[in-house]
Structure 1
Amino acid sequence: MARKLIVVLANADPHSDEAIGAPIFQASVAASMGYQVEVVCTGNAATILKSGVAEAIHVKSAEARTIYDFIKEAHAAGVRFHCFSTGLDTCAMRKHDLIAECSGVIGAAHFIEEIMENDCRVLTY
């Protein structure tokens, strides 16, 4: 049985509450169920890991909660967030631009090694 879930945010619109909120919520649920969970952001979706960006995206227009609130809740549940190295380039960011909940930057070799493990499942958005 798989014990690890990697959620990849690559094509999700970083300014869409639905496109970003649902995968982060799913990651939180999986972590709460005892699975090891990582969210890897790349492409334009990596901007949600930039300080100030996720704080400006509300889950629903009439609600005060933001995508950053979802990230904080997921992180508290044990979800680890990573920025893919190409995401930094795509979004013109540097490591010091990343939110505190981001565990760091990963490269292609590390990513491929992780997803090829037998006990790993991957969801992409």
Structure 2
Amino acid sequence: MLEKELKIVILMTSGPKTPWRCATPFYIATLMAAQEADVEIFFNMDGTNLIKKGVAEKICPSLEGNCFSANGQKPKTVYDFMKDAKLAGVKFYSCKQAVDSMGLTEEDLIPELDGIVPASEFALRAMMADKLITF
């Protein structure tokens, strides 16, 4: 475990257009939270699509985005990785401006989302973080 709790902020701009990039941020966030880091993921740009209900459940982290492997086994979806991160204590926030620009309401978003915050809040948290990671 860490001697000092680290504050990690992840900016998630990858989304359905780049499925091969979508699982790793949640996997890494889960590992960091398991080491008692305070981890927050902020969704922006195409990443905002991942918090729309029903979207991440249909995305598999492969180059083709195919949710079935060669042997017919169904691998984990991006939503499965997101739920693992939440169980580890990772917090999810979305950029208010991104949500508004997409015409989304809170009812359109996954229940795992901890809040919708203005970009200025992300900027403050990013400046105060020990580490800022972007995907």
TM-score, normalised to structure 1, is 0.88
Tell me if the contact between 2:17 and 2:46 (Cα under 8 Å) persists in the aligned partners: no
Matched, 1:116 2:127: yes
- State the identity as a percent: 27
Q: Which moved more, 1:72-81 or 1:87-96?
A: 87-96
Tell me if the contact between 2:15 and 2:48 (Cα under 8 Å) persists in the aligned partners: no
CA RMSD of the aligned region, Å? 1.7
Matched, 1:16 2:26: no
Matched, 1:105 2:116: yes
Distance 1:2 1:109 in 2: 24
Mind listing any 5+ residue stretches in structure 2 that lack a counterpart? none
After TM superposition, the structure 1 = structure 2 runs for residues 62-77 of structure 1, keeping only pairs within 5 Å, are 62=69, 63-77=74-88
Q: Secondary structure at the match of 2:9?
A: strand
After TM superposition, the structure 1 = structure 2 runs for residues 1-125 of structure 1, keeping only pairs within 5 Å, are 3-10=6-13, 12-60=14-62, 61=66, 62=69, 63-117=74-128, 119-125=129-135
Tell me if the contact between 2:21 and 2:61 (Cα under 8 Å) persists in the aligned partners: no
How many equivalent pairs are there?
A: 123
Mind listing any 5+ residue stretches in structure 1 that lack a counterpart? none
Give structure 1 regions of 4+ aligned residues with deviation exceeding 4 angstroms: none
> 1:23 Cα shift?
1.1
> 1:2 Cα shift?
6.7
Distance 1:17 1:113 in 2: 29
Amino acid at match of 2:121: H
Tell me if the contact between 1:43 and 1:91 (Cα under 8 Å) persists in the aligned partners: no
Q: Secondary structure at the match of 2:23?
A: helix
Distance 1:14 1:122 in 2: 22
Q: Secondary structure at the match of 2:60?
A: coil
Query: Larger C-alpha radius of gyration, 1 or 2?
Result: 2
Q: Which moved more, 1:50-59 or 1:83-92?
A: 83-92
Amino acid at match of 2:91: R
